Structure 1
Amino acid sequence: MIICSIQNVTQTIAANTIFEEISCEIKQGDRIGLIGRNGEGKTTLLDLIAKKTQPVEGTITWKKDSTVGLLQQVPQIAEDRKVEAILYDVFTAMEELKMQMSKLERAMSEETDADELTRHIEKYGSLQEKFQQDGGYEIDSQIRRIMSGLKIDDLAEKEWQQLSGGERTKVGLAQLLLKSPDLLLLDEPTNHLDLSAIEWLTNFINNYSGTIIIVSHDRYFLDETVTSILEMDQGELIKYLTNYSNYVKEREERLLQEFQQYEDQQKRVKKMKETIKRLKEWANQANPPNAGLHRRAKSMEKALARIELMKRPILDHKKIDLDFQSNKRSGNDVVFVERARKAYGEKQLFSNINMHVRFQERVAIIGENGSGKSTMLKMILGTERLDEGVMKLGSNLSVGFLSQHMFEIDGDQSILDEFRDQVHVTEGDARGILAKYLFYGKTVFQKVKSLSGGEKMRLRLAQLVHQNHNLLILDEPTNHLDIESKEVLEEALDQFDGTIIAVSHDRYFLDKIFSKTYWLAEESLMKYEGNYTFARAKRQA
């Protein structure tokens, strides 16, 4: 059964056509991954399906009485509302039923008239049946389960205005999961979640009874949750009945096949044009002019006009150009930590931990949110002091730092000025470099604060690449990057001849780049001589 049908839909924003005449059908029970480069219109399409906006042209229809829920990155909620109350607000109708039942309970305890008591009992019975059928007795456990899974138990008594952007997104996700709509739309649901919360969400989705559409740049998450892919590419919508990994292979095969068909058609059209030209020349050279040859030429021209010309398939989109260079070699010992302890007030993050990072190692630091991973990076950078222990950096080091929180304090500078603050080159050279990171023409004069998360990350990568560091410290470097940009980053890091230390929740990225893993849990740091999947298997053994 079709839950949502999209027919010949066109959408524009500020006179820009985002996509044109796209069509698809979403069936009940579908698990769809919506894929596309940043800017292709994925969020725009979700807004249309969620009934938040209307299409300029075309129609979208939904199954009668079906409910649609969209994860908003920043939900609109009263500033003084507490988190627990926000989640209970989902069940307002159930709370009203509960109040009616309580009212009837009081009435029954005080009623002396037998007939009136019977009427109260009958009404109470029907209300209780509805309350039970709608899961009223499970509300408390449901809320506790989802709060625990998403690691937001400690936010229960906090007001909305006290929450960070990431915490607000997690509360919004919890609220949406509690609503349990027939069609669940998730836009980057794993952002701000740690690894165990991502695993919990994966399990939740796989047991979800409704239909789901997910926009995500987390490749493992897509493989674990979706059974079909909708690709948005150059304003078109293409469906693949497979998971993400197989989609990558099928897409490459499709593009190569389409390119071959395009080239064959181009050859055929060229041959027809040459034949038409020759027929006309022969007809005109004849004395008198040959009417039969003219007719043949005219007939071929009509046949040529009827051919629907294929668009040239784009095998390679414009990509950022990353090439990390290191002009000087560091010493063999890069970072040395011994018996380190760190606490904030009464909250101890870790104690008696040790770490030794050597030249050219790729080291990942893994742990739950709040375990102290970013604090460890700050210790290495020298922006946080240890309470106890030893922290030493090796010789001849040039340290580059990339964080998902870059540019959050001062975003009033232009892209060009921000770049040149860190990389001392002429304006002309700077503009040439920035073009390699897809900042073209007048866009270099935009203020940094106007950029999306992905654009800010691209700008910071441009700075890092041209600073010739031999130690890269990366804090969630793949956040806000689309899959294609992640792949470029992975390739560049793979070729980097210095040392890398990173914190990340992107399991694909962790497995591909890092051959040594430090796992921070329960105030201790465990070392594993392998990637994330290896370390996780060892911990579960």
Structure 2
Amino acid sequence: MILCSGREVSKMYGGSVVLNKLAFDIYAGDRIGIVGSNGSGKTTLLKLLANHDRPDAGEIHWKKNTRIGYLAQIPNFSDGFTGKDVLKLAFEDLLEIQEEMKLLEKQMEAEGHSPNLNKVMKRYGLLQDEFSMKNGYEIEAKIENISNGLNMEDLLTKHFNDLSGGEKTKICLGLTLLQNPNIILLDEPTNHLDIESVEWLSSYLKKYEGTVIVISHDRYFLDEINTKIFDMEDGELTIYQTNYSEFVVEKEKRLLKEFENYKLQQQKIKKMKQTIKTLKEWANRANPPNANMHRRARSMEKALERMEKINRPVLHRKKMGLQLESAERSGNDIVVMDNVAKKLGNKTILTDGNMFIRYQDRTALLGNNGAGKSTILKMICGEVKPGQGQITIGSNVKIGYLSQEIFAANSDNTVIESFRENVSVTEGEARNILARFLFYGHAVFRKISQLSGGELMRLRLAQLMHQDINLLVLDEPTNHLDIESREVLEEALDHFNGTILAVSHDRYFINKLFDKVYWIEDSKLTFFEGSYDTARRNLLASKMNQRETLVKEKKIKNYIPTREKKEPAVATFDKIEKDLKVIENRIDSIEQQLSAESDLGLLEQLFNEKVECEQARDKIYQELELIMN
């Protein structure tokens, strides 16, 4: 069933064509990823789909009564509103019913045995049925599920207006999900989420019954949830019926085929033009001029004019010119952290932290938001002192640090001024370098405060490329970069001859470049050898072992031996044996799924089910013992 269709959809901004005659159909249940470089029109298309803007030409038609959920910008709320109050807005109609029910409850108490009581009770019964039918009694459970999944339980009691921009975005994302619309439109939903929250959101959207359209530069996320790709390029839209990884392959094949068709057409056009020229020359040489040849030439010219020209496909677009070279070689021991502890106020960030990084290591530091990752990087870079313990930086180590607070202190400087503060070059040399990072012409005189997140990241990377460094310390380096820029960064880091330590929630980026992982959780650092996927599985296995141990300890603690022989259970031996076989088969099935599954949310669900099945199996064993005794 088609929910939405667009025909000849065009949009202009400031005289520039942003969207050019787009055509598309969106079906119920679609999982669409919108991709393209920054400025390609992705957000513009999303605004049109959300009815927050109108096309300059063409039409977009929605199926009647389609409910759209779209997080456009952070709305304003009164000062008393908490995070939970904002989430409750998803259930406004149910909360109104609940309030009326409370008033009727008070009224029933006051009415006593008056004739009006039956009327009040009838109204109350109708409201109660409606409230129950619309799952009103599940409001708290739904809010808790979303809050836990997005790791924002601590934000529920805080005043919304006191939250940071990222925290507000997270709350509003939760509100959008709770509204349960027919179609969800999400613009970079993973930007302010930690890895666990991204995994939860991915699992949630895969099971979501409605339609999902998402703009994202997170390739891992796109692969997990999307089955259709809208590729935005030069204001035009190309649709691929696949996930992101397969789209990359298909797009390359399509471009090569289009380029081949373009070359063949150009050869044909060249040949036709030459034929036209020859016919005219021959016609004019005749005495008198040959009218028949002139007619043939004009006929061929008209055919050439009518020919639908193939635009030359762009195989290689301008990209950020990043090449990172390490300074002279450092020693073998780069960073040695020995029993480091750190507190920020009353919050414990790290206890007994140990880390060892050697020359040319590729080390990722991972953990939830607020776990202390950035603080650890600052301690390594010498910007923050440890509370106790020691961090030793090796001999001849020269650090290049990319923090999340890029250029915060110099927001009034221009791009070229900020660049030359850290790199000793002439203005002409600086402009040439900045052009390689897509700052052309007068763009170098824009103020830092006017730059987008992606532009700030490109500027800092340009500085790092021209500094004397052999240890890169990167805090969320892929934030705000489009996919093409991320790929350029990955290639540059892959060829970097020094050592890299990075914090990131981009799972694709981590898996591709890093083979050592430190995970911070509950103020403890845990080391894993291998990629992100390997570290995640090992971390989950460790958690499962801990939970199994707790379950066993609880069983032992609660076990009370029975001295008296109990009466046999009512159920027959055959019935119990049959139940036991069903449960054991289910446990075997779960164990097979656990070994194959990588999604954290599903793994935890499977583990919880396994524990419940094992408890049920233990009870059946007890029943069998009673019967046999």
Q: TM-score range by the shorter chain?
A: over 0.9
Structure 2 equivalent of residue 426 of structure 1: 426
Structure 1 equivalent of residue 505 of structure 2: 505
Structure 1 equivalent of residue 196 of structure 2: 196
Structure 2 equivalent of residue 49 of structure 1: 49
Distance 2:61 2:480 in 1: 32
5 Å matches for 1:144-293?
144-293=144-293
Structure 2 equivalent of residue 305 of structure 1: 305
In structure 2, stretches of 5+ residues that fail to align are: 542-629
Structure 1 equivalent of residue 546 of structure 2: none
Amino acid at match of 1:363: T
Distance 2:514 2:446 in 1: 35
Q: Is the 8 A contact 1:326 1:470 kept in 2?
A: yes
Amino acid at match of 1:199: E
CA RMSD, Structure 1 to Structure 2 (Å):
1.4
Distance 2:71 2:8 in 1: 25
Distance 2:211 2:187 in 1: 14
Distance 2:153 2:8 in 1: 45
Change (3 A) 1:414 1:44: same
1:341 paired with 2:341, answer yes
5 Å matches for 1:392-403?
392-403=392-403
What's the secondary structure of 2:154's corresponding residue? helix
Distance apart, 1:101 and its partner CA: 1.5
Change (3 A) 1:39 1:424: same
What's the secondary structure of 1:144's corresponding residue? helix
Structure 1 equivalent of residue 586 of structure 2: none
Distance apart, 1:104 and its partner CA: 2.2
5 Å matches for 1:46-195?
46-111=46-111, 116-195=116-195
Distance 2:317 2:345 in 1: 50
Change (3 A) 1:279 1:137: same
Distance apart, 1:30 and its partner CA: 0.7
Q: Is the 8 A contact 1:72 1:172 kept in 2?
A: no
What's the secondary structure of 2:480's corresponding residue? coil
Structure 1 equivalent of residue 440 of structure 2: 440
Amino acid at match of 1:163: L
Change (3 A) 1:160 1:389: same
CA deviations 1:77-127 (Å, max 9, x no partner) are 334421111111222221111111222223334446686433333322221
Structure 2 equivalent of residue 404 of structure 1: 404
TM-score (norm 1): 0.97
Structure 1 equivalent of residue 489 of structure 2: 489
Q: Is the 8 A contact 1:371 1:521 kept in 2?
A: yes
Distance 1:346 1:377 in 2: 20
What's the secondary structure of 1:302's corresponding residue? helix
5 Å matches for 1:313-462?
313-462=313-462
Structure with a larger share of its residues in helix: 2
What's the secondary structure of 1:181's corresponding residue? coil
Change (3 A) 1:68 1:496: same
Distance apart, 1:473 and its partner CA: 0.2
Deviates further, 92-101 or 429-438: 92-101
Q: Is the 8 A contact 1:283 1:290 kept in 2?
A: yes
Q: Is the 8 A contact 1:223 1:244 kept in 2?
A: yes
Structure 1 equivalent of residue 37 of structure 2: 37
Amino acid at match of 1:136: G
Distance 1:7 1:453 in 2: 33
Q: Is the 8 A contact 2:36 2:232 kept in 1?
A: yes
Structure 2 equivalent of residue 475 of structure 1: 475
Distance apart, 1:375 and its partner CA: 1.1
Distance 2:309 2:154 in 1: 60
CA deviations 1:290-326 (Å, max 9, x no partner) are 2221221111111111101111100111000010112
Distance 1:77 1:407 in 2: 31
Distance 2:316 2:404 in 1: 27
Q: Is the 8 A contact 1:75 1:168 kept in 2?
A: no
Distance 1:121 1:385 in 2: 67
Deviates further, 521-530 or 115-124: 115-124
Distance 1:93 1:176 in 2: 16
What's the secondary structure of 2:202's corresponding residue? helix
What's the secondary structure of 1:525's corresponding residue? strand
Distance 2:117 2:524 in 1: 63
In structure 1, stretches of 5+ residues that fail to align are: none
CA deviations 1:340-370 (Å, max 9, x no partner) are 1112233212211211111111110111111
Distance 2:476 2:374 in 1: 10
CA deviations 1:405-446 (Å, max 9, x no partner) are 212333111001011111110000000000000000011101
Structure 1 equivalent of residue 626 of structure 2: none
Amino acid at match of 1:40: S
Amino acid at match of 1:383: E
CA deviations 1:240-274 (Å, max 9, x no partner) are 00000000000001111111111111111111111
Distance 1:76 1:318 in 2: 40
Amino acid at match of 2:83: V
Distance apart, 1:133 and its partner CA: 2.1
Q: Is the 8 A contact 1:32 1:229 kept in 2?
A: yes
Bigger Rg, which one: 2
Deviates further, 327-336 or 343-352: 343-352
What's the secondary structure of 1:409's corresponding residue? helix
Distance 1:339 1:171 in 2: 36
Q: Is the 8 A contact 1:71 1:189 kept in 2?
A: no
Amino acid at match of 1:156: L
1:25 paired with 2:37, answer no
Distance 1:13 1:464 in 2: 34
Extract structure 1 runs of 4+ deviating beyond 6 A: none
Distance apart, 1:175 and its partner CA: 1.0
Change (3 A) 1:434 1:110: same
Change (3 A) 1:306 1:33: same
Q: Is the 8 A contact 1:4 1:60 kept in 2?
A: yes
Percent identical pairs in the alignment equals 50
Distance apart, 1:131 and its partner CA: 1.2
Amino acid at match of 1:60: I
Distance apart, 1:144 and its partner CA: 1.1
CA deviations 1:472-496 (Å, max 9, x no partner) are 0000000000000000000000000
Distance 2:130 2:409 in 1: 52
Structure 1 equivalent of residue 539 of structure 2: 539
Structure with more contact order per residue of length (Cα contacts < 8 Å, sep ≥ 6): 1
Distance apart, 1:67 and its partner CA: 1.2
TM-score (norm 2): 0.84
Amino acid at match of 1:449: S
Distance 2:215 2:369 in 1: 23
Distance apart, 1:26 and its partner CA: 0.9
Distance 1:303 1:537 in 2: 64
